[in-house]
């Protein structure tokens, strides 16, 4: 399985990059080919195409958008890391998803969210959006509470010792999520 870990925030002082590093390190330690995809690296304008990409066979995306599409379609599975902004996902993540057509079609996606309530409201919104992208949102997810305020994950993507030692905590949740994501990836690849 070739896994994309998508960082869903671009603001200064974000915590999503730390969480993505933790996921990436954990995936690689489980022999999963993993790569961090940072939305900061894709300078896409706000979505303004006259016709929805799904219904536009004549679509000719601008270069910046085509780079995003080409990057995202090469993966077998995805984990979207999202903070919660005003009870939802970030504008930059929604914008990036609006450009997609069939890049996620019949591919498994998972959500790791963070925020004051573990990013639960953002995760709920993101599940609906990803379903509309024709992807398969797996049931397992991981929620991290107050990442920046609690030092849950350091700058190098290391989970705090307290959370590592919790047998029902994020480490166990992420391991279970990765196992399920790989199962779905294998099953859906055969079906495609």
- Tell me what percent of the residues of the chain surpass a pLDDT of 70: 100
Query: Got the DSSP string for 113-142?
Result: EEETTTTHHHHHHHHHHHHHTT-EEEEEEE
Q: What is the pLDDT of residue 44?
A: 97
Per-residue confidence (pLDDT) for residue 22, from 0 to 100: 98
The pLDDT value given to residue 146: 86
Rg for the chain, CA atoms, rounded: 16
Helix (H) or strand (E) holding 17: helix 16-29
What pLDDT was estimated at residue 176?
97
What pLDDT score does 150 carry? 84
Over its length of 192 residues, how does the chain's per-residue pLDDT go in tens digits?
999 999 999 999 999 999 999 999 999 999 999 999 999 999 999 999 999 999 999 999 999 999 999 999 999 999 999 999 999 999 999 999 999 999 999 999 999 999 989 999 999 999 999 999 999 999 999 999 988 888 899 999 999 998 988 899 999 999 999 999 999 999 999 998
Task: Please tell me the predicted confidence (pLDDT) of residue 58.
Answer: 93
Q: 10 Å Cβ neighbour count for 99?
A: 21
Domains of the chain with CATH codes: 2-191 (3.40.50.360)
pLDDT score recorded for residue 192: 84
Instruction: Give the residue among 8, 7, 5, 145 at the shortest CA–CA distance from 90.
Output: 8
**Residue 64 near residue 42, CB atoms below 8 Å:** yes
């Amino acid at each position: 399985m070739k896994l994309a870990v998508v960082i869903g925030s671009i603001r200064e002082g974000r915590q999503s990059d730390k969480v993505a590093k933790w996921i990436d390190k954990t995936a690689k330690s489980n022999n999963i080919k993993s790569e961090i995809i940072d939305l900061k690296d894709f300078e896409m304008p706000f979505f303004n195409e006259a016709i929805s990409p799904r219904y536009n066979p004549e679509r000719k995306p601008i270069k910046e958008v085509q780079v995003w599409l080409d990057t995202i379609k090469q993966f077998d599975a995805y984990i979207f890391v999202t903070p919660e902004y005003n009870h939802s996902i970030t504008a930059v993540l929604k914008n990036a998803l609006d450009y997609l057509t069939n890049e996620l079609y019949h591919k498994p996606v998972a959500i790791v969210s963070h925020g004051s309530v573990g990013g639960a409201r953002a995760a709920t919104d993101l599940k609906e959006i990803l379903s509309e992208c024709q992807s398969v949102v797996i049931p397992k997810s991981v929620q991290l509470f107050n990442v920046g305020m609690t030092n849950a994950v350091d700058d190098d993507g290391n989970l705090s010792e307290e959370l590592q030692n919790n047998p029902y905590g994020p480490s166990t949740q992420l391991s279970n999520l990765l196992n399920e994501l790989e199962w779905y990836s294998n099953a859906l690849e055969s079906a495609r």
